[in-house]
Structure formats: structure tokens, C-alpha cells
Amino acid sequence: MIDPFGRAVTYLRVSVTDRCDFRCVYCMAEDMTFLPKREVLSLEELDRLCTAFIEKGVRKLRLTGGEPLVRKNIMSLIRNLGRHLDSGALEELTITTNGSQLSRFANELYDCGVRRINVSIDTLDPQKFKTVTRWGDLAKVLDGVRAATAAGLKTKINMVALKDVNEHEIQPMLEWCHGEGHDLTLIETMPLGEIDGDRTDQYLPLSTVRSRLAERFTLTDIPYKTGGPARYVTIEETGGKLGFITPLTHNFCESCNRVRVTCTGQLYMCLGQDDMADLRAPLRASEGNEVLNDAIDEAIGRKPKGHDFVIDRDRNQPAVSRHMSVTGG
């Protein structure tokens, strides 16, 4: 799959549910209305859809949510998708999780062929964690991270940098992650969906964060890639890696190899654009994949050059109306 700008699309992120057992303040409102089940793709439909993309050249597949591990019987989907790892058609199957269910599923994830996961942790302060996630329990998440490590899963920690919330905890988080053998990726808050607060108040440029860290640590740029948009440095003092995902201060569109499918089968060619293609209708229209493949090809043909993310006082509305939990992280 080659887009109009010559970029090969080899990385698919699939949201398996819009539901989550957290209500993170930068992601969604506390009183969320979730999708009716009839609109959400079945596990069998998700398997068929992912397989179609793999047959068309996707080499890395990431399952996201909401929180993917709260989807009923989700492990049956992950186990079935593992067949593409066994055949060599798929190079990597990963998930992004809030960690709340990891203690239950870490060993089974490894058995299914998952070798690397991302866990979202924005603070190591239990009370602040509760405030940021509204419903989360930090101790349970950290137990999950330990279970993942014990199971053999390589764990990367994702931290959304939030002004006046956790900006002074970034150095302690970095030191904790590297001390535990985890890489850390910092993420700028993204203008997706209506939330209860003002994102302008949350926005912390990672250029500022990097400058602060450079006063304490030696940061060396490296070409390391995991398939996503992060730019990485090594920290000489800790020996670990630190990634920066900067959709606002420095967009990463020129090398974009990703598309996203929602749990309702809507294909978004760009996280920061509203243009999408409905794959649920062709998926349900026929047992064969000819119509589905045509819909995918047509959509890839209109993948845009880049996104339009902006956060400032003059643009207090989200860049796109859907929440991150709908599109998938």
C-alpha cells in the first residue's frame, strides 16, 4: 500500500473497543457515552479486517482502545492473530494498555506471540494518578508492569506531559523507568475530542521539556525506531532510551507509515484529520474481501500529507471531534 506521497503503509493500529476503565482528563470526559455494541466490529470481523491489511503489506499491528484488555474475550482475537507471526506475514503484534488488566493477561500475551507492549503511566504519585485517570489505581498498574516483565514482555512507558500537572515528575519518571529497564516516551497532549477542561492549560511543549532535561542529563540523538512517530535519544547517565512524540512542536508526518481503524470499522488515514473510509459496510456486505480490498485501496489513495493539530487560545476547539479512545492511541 503506497500513499500519494510515496510512503509505504506498513503499520496498522486497530481500536478493539472505545470503552475504558479509566477516564483520563486529557483523553475523555468523566461521563462518557460509549458506542452501541451493534456498531462495534465483532472479534471475528476484527480478525478478518486485520488479516486483509496484513495480506496487503502491513507488517506491524498494534491493538489499542479505549483499553483493549477490557474487551470481552479479547485474548481469543490476539491468539488468532498470532498465526500471522507464525507464518512470517506479520513481524510484530503489540498492544497499548493502561496496565490495569496486565496482571491477568501478561503470560497469555507472551504465549500469543506478543513481545513488546506500551503502558500509559503519567505519574508515580498514587493520589495524582487517581486525579489524572479519575478511576485508576497506580498500585494495580505497577503490579501489572511487574507481571509483564516477569512474563518476558518488553515494556515501554508512555507519559503524556501535562503543564502544571506532572511536568516536574518527568525526571523522576525517567530515572524510575530506566532503573527498571523500561524505555520512556513523552507525548504532547493532542487536540482530540471534547474534554471537561481546557487543553491550552494542559499543553506542555516537549521542546521545553527537552531543554530542561539537557541541563541535568546528556541527551544523544539516535536513529532508533519502533515503527511509530517517536524520535529517540539515549540518556548517557542512565543508559536508557527516551522518546519524544511531538505532533505540535515538530510534526512527524513526513515519514508516516500508519493508518488507524476504529472499533466500528472506520479507517482514518491520519490521526489529525476527519477524512475517513467506512470499512464496516464492505466487510459486512460479502464473505469475500474484494469489496473490502477496493475500499482500502481507495482510502490509501487519499491519505493526506499531514495533520492540522494546533493548540492555542484562538483555537480552543479540538482539531477533530472524535476522542482518542474512539480512534485508538
For the stretch 135-160, pLDDT in tens is 889 999 999 999 999 999 999 999 99
- The response to whether 258 counts as a known ligand-binding position is yes
- The response to whether 259 counts as a known ligand-binding position is yes
- The response to whether 24 counts as a known ligand-binding position is yes
Cα–Cα dist 177/162, whole Å:
18
- 76 belongs to a structural domain: yes
- 103 belongs to a structural domain: yes
- 3 belongs to a structural domain: no
- The response to whether 66 counts as a known ligand-binding position is yes
Peptide bond into 88 cis (omega under 30): no
Q: What is the CATH number of the domain that holds 101?
A: 3.20.20.70
- The response to whether 256 counts as a known ligand-binding position is yes
What average pLDDT score do residues 299-308 get?
A: 80
Which of 86-90, 293-297, 310-314 has the weakest average pLDDT?
310-314
Asked whether the predicted pLDDT for residue 30 surpasses 90, the reply is no
Asked whether the predicted pLDDT for residue 250 surpasses 70, the reply is no
Of 211, 269, 270, the closest CA to residue 244 belongs to 211
- The response to whether 190 counts as a known ligand-binding position is yes
Tell me the three cell numbers of residue 142.
505497577
State the total domains in the chain. Answer: 1
- The response to whether 50 counts as a known ligand-binding position is no
- The response to whether 23 counts as a known ligand-binding position is no
Tens digits of per-residue pLDDT, 121-130? 999 999 999 9
- 264 belongs to a structural domain: yes
Tens digits of per-residue pLDDT, 160-218? 998 888 999 999 999 999 999 999 999 988 654 454 555 456 788 999 999 999 999 99
Grade residue 308 by pLDDT with cuts at 50, 70 and 90: low
- 5 belongs to a structural domain: no
- The response to whether 20 counts as a known ligand-binding position is yes
- The response to whether 96 counts as a known ligand-binding position is yes
| Domain with 283 in it | 11-327
Higher pLDDT, 290 or 21: 290
Of 207, 206, 205, 192, the closest CA to residue 270 belongs to 192
- 71 belongs to a structural domain: yes
